[in-house]
């Protein structure tokens, strides 16, 4: 961003104090500050019928540098469409407290190349389908799952942590949750600091600047000048454990909803009986690729990938991972995860390889939908898969991202 966030706040705060309340439908008002900062105010509610070519024309004619919003939300699909236009035009987004950006508006804000927002200026909650009386329960559930997958894919595309959606979903559509500055930074909603200096924010001008220096404590006794040099360095983060626990129990979990109990450790061996997903089992032994198991009063063999192991615990039973890559060594694994713009994590697998996945699990339909969208956008490799993660032992990399 050419201008720092505080400079935008100072200018926008003066020019938009008298902004009109957001109206239905979108309108675009070009503005310029005394310092020559050109920006476009997006006013109104996002509607499915909005013609966003008017936004493009306004931005190009005014040679705008950034976009700010005065909107209570509206159509999620249209907000994401505007966000992608903002990104394609390589514009920044800025949001201040005396203008509103709530609900779907937060998605449009994510389109900015650089994003700055004051604490409390952006609100989130879950979407509502109550305005569509034609939706029955089954259709509503399907629509929600599809929209959730679409929003996750969009947030990932924009570089925002999809965990923000989980926070939004805890607030009903008739409620709103305004985000703190630290939350905006945590979820990568903003790309520059959310706290402008007091010199530029009239609401904070009377407050002393925060003390960013470490506190200095008086010594209890005269200090030896060389004493500090002899202090041990801070303890390094402990390396991840690559030990694989003994598998003792779990449940059947296979892609077609059931798995065969084999008479021997081979796919060619006789099927003793077939068990449905969720059937509890005891693991008697591990042959390397097959578990020797007992289910009820039956004993036989199941392939590793058919069994969710309780002692592994990488993910909750019944949920799937989107796996994007795997390596046979930790160094490459860590390098890939830390170098990716996506929110990734890595798991030690039971074969001692490392599986790299998106950093959360999904219901099976959601995982497949997200997988398809991320592949289509080129965000993940074509050979990425949705998987139960039955072989994932534990998270080993980059949980602090």
Q: What is the CATH number of the domain that holds 283?
A: 2.30.30.40
Residue 362 lies in a domain: yes
Same domain? 85 vs 181: yes
CATH number for position 49: 3.90.226.10
pLDDT of residue 195: 47
pLDDT of residue 163: 87
Same domain? 263 vs 340: no
Same domain? 81 vs 33: yes
The 3-state secondary structure of the chain reads: CCCCHHHHHHHHHHHCCCCCCCCECCEEEEEECCCCCEEEEEECEECCCCCCHHHHHHHHHCCCCEEEEEECCECHHHHHHHHHHHHHCCCEEEECCCCCEECCHHHHHCCCCCEEECCCCEEECCCCCCCCCCCCHHHHHHHHHHHHHHHHHHHHHHCCCCHHHHHHCCCCCCCCEECCHHHHHHCCCCCCCCCCCCCCCCCCCCCCCCCCCCCCCCCCCCCCCCCHHHCCCCCCCCCCCCCCCCCCEEEECCCCCEEEEECCCCCCCCEEEEEECCCEEEEEEECCCEEEEEECCEEEEEEHHHEEECCCCCCCCCCEEEEEEEECCHHHHHHHHHHCCCCEEEEEECCCCEEEEECCCECHHHHHHHHHHHHHCCCCCCCCEEECCCCEEEEEECCCC
Residue 167 lies in a domain: yes
Residue 174 lies in a domain: yes
Residue 215 lies in a domain: no
* The model's pTM: 0.49
Same domain? 294 vs 363: no
Same domain? 261 vs 372: no
Residue 353 lies in a domain: yes
Q: Supply the range of the domain harboring residue 373.
A: 321-397
Same domain? 145 vs 22: yes
186, 210, 238 - which closes a domain: 186
164, 186, 208 - which closes a domain: 186
pLDDT of residue 171: 84
Residue 205 lies in a domain: no
- Number of structural domains found in the chain: 3
269, 289, 309 - which closes a domain: 309
Same domain? 301 vs 330: no
Same domain? 166 vs 294: no
Same domain? 387 vs 344: yes
Residue 153 lies in a domain: yes
pLDDT of residue 136: 58
Same domain? 283 vs 138: no
Low-confidence spans in the chain with pLDDT less than 70: 1-24, 128-143, 193-239, 399-401
Residue 12 lies in a domain: yes
Same domain? 26 vs 106: yes
Same domain? 335 vs 292: no
């Amino acid at each position: 961003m050419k201008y720092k966030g505080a400079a935008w706040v100072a200018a926008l705060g003066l020019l938009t104090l008298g902004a009109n309340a957001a109206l239905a439908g979108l309108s675009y008002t070009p503005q310029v500050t005394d310092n020559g900062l050109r920006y476009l105010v997006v006013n109104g509610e996002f509607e499915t019928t909005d013609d966003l070519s008017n936004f493009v024309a306004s931005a190009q004619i005014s040679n705008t540098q950034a976009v700010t919003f005065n909107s209570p939300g509206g159509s999620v699909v249209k907000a994401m469409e505007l966000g992608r236009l903002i990104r394609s035009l390589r514009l920044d987004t800025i949001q201040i407290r005396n203008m509103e950006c709530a609900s779907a508006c937060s998605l449009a804000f994510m389109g900015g190349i650089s994003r700055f927002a004051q604490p409390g200026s952006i609100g989130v909650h879950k979407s509502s389908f109550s305005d569509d009386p034609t939706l029955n329960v089954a259709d509503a559930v399907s629509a929600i799952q599809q929209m959730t997958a679409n929003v996750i894919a969009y947030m990932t595309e924009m570089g925002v942590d999809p965990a923000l959606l989980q926070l939004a979903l805890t607030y009903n559509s008739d409620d709103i949750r305004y985000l703190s500055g630290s939350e905006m930074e945590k979820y990568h909603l903003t790309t520059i600091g959310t706290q402008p200096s007091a010199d530029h924010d009239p609401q904070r001008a009377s407050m002393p600047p925060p003390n960013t220096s470490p506190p200095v404590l008086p010594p209890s006794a005269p200090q030896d000048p060389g004493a500090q040099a002899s202090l041990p360095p801070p303890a390094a983060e402990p390396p991840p454990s690559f030990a694989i626990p003994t598998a003792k129990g779990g449940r059947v979990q296979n892609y077609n909803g059931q798995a065969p109990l084999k008479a021997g450790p081979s796919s060619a061996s006789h099927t003793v009986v077939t068990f449905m997903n969720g059937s509890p089992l005891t693991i008697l032994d591990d042959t390397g690729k097959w578990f020797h198991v007992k289910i009820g009063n039956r004993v036989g063999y199941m392939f590793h990938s058919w069994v969710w192991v309780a002692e592994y615990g990488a993910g909750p039973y019944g949920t799937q991972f989107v796996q994007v890559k795997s390596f046979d060594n930790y160094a490459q694994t860590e390098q890939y995860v830390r170098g990716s713009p996506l929110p990734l994590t890595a798991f030690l697998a039971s074969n001692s390889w490392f599986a790299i996945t998106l950093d959360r699990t999904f219901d099976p339909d959601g995982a497949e939908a997200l997988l398809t969208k991320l592949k289509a956008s080129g965000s993940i490799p074509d050979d990425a898969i949705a998987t139960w993660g039955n072989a994932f032992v534990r998270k080993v990399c980059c949980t602090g991202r």
